[in-house]
């Protein structure tokens, strides 16, 4: 029992210390990693492509090995299913690897040193007006985009640099 408690205490201390050493926000890095992984791999496209190739191969195999339309249909269904599963799993593995690599890179990146102007200063106002088209100087806020067409406008938000 003592070994279990000691092990849990060590794991907890490591988890806490690793969280404190992070250079970036985990939510920010998760979003960055997801966007990057979507550019590299797409499991849906892999599944569809694998399904098409598998179905064609199954139809050909059903025609060569079987008798009649039933064999071709069965071969197409089996081949399409197997191809879709293989294509999706291959792309999923590629997606996960790209996500993990980008997330690790982001979390362990040394933050760049920025010359951030003081809030409310003329330089701050200028930078915020460049960053947000809807920026209002008198209250320092901007209007975020609607999440989807027809949605109510979200509340105005204060400009945060960089």
pLDDT of the chain, 162 residues: tens digit per residue: 555 444 544 555 444 444 444 456 788 888 888 888 888 877 777 767 777 887 777 777 777 776 676 776 777 788 778 877 887 777 788 888 888 888 888 888 776 666 788 888 999 999 999 999 999 999 999 999 888 888 899 999 999 887
At 141 the pLDDT is: 94
Q: Where are the domains of the chain?
A: 25-111, 115-162
At 1 the pLDDT is: 53
At 21 the pLDDT is: 40
At 137 the pLDDT is: 92
Rounded CA separation 64/114 (Å): 67
At 115 the pLDDT is: 79
Residues in the chain: 162
At 24 the pLDDT is: 64
Is 19 exposed, middle or buried, given 0-12, 13-18 or 19+ CB atoms closer than 10 A? exposed
Distance, first Cα to last Cα, the chain: 50
Using CA atoms, how far residue 22 sits from 25, 28, 138, in Å, is 7, 12, 36
Rounded CA separation 24/109 (Å): 7
């Amino acid at each position: 029992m003592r070994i279990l408690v000691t092990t849990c205490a060590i794991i907890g201390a490591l988890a806490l210390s690793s969280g404190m050493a992070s250079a970036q926000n985990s939510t920010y890095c998760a979003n960055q990693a997801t966007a990057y992984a979507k550019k590299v791999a797409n499991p849906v496209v892999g599944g569809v492509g694998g399904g098409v190739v598998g179905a064609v191969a199954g139809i050909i195999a059903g025609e060569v090995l079987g008798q009649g339309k039933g064999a071709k249909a069965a071969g197409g269904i089996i081949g399409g299913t197997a191809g879709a599963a293989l294509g999706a799993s291959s792309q999923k593995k590629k997606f996960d690897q790209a996500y993990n690599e980008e997330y690790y890179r982001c979390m362990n990146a040394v933050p760049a040193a920025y010359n951030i102007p003081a809030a409310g200063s003329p330089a701050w106002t200028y930078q915020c007006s460049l960053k947000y088209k809807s920026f209002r100087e008198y209250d320092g806020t901007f209007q975020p985009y609607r999440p989807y067409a027809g949605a109510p406008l979200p509340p105005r938000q204060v400009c945060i640099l960089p």
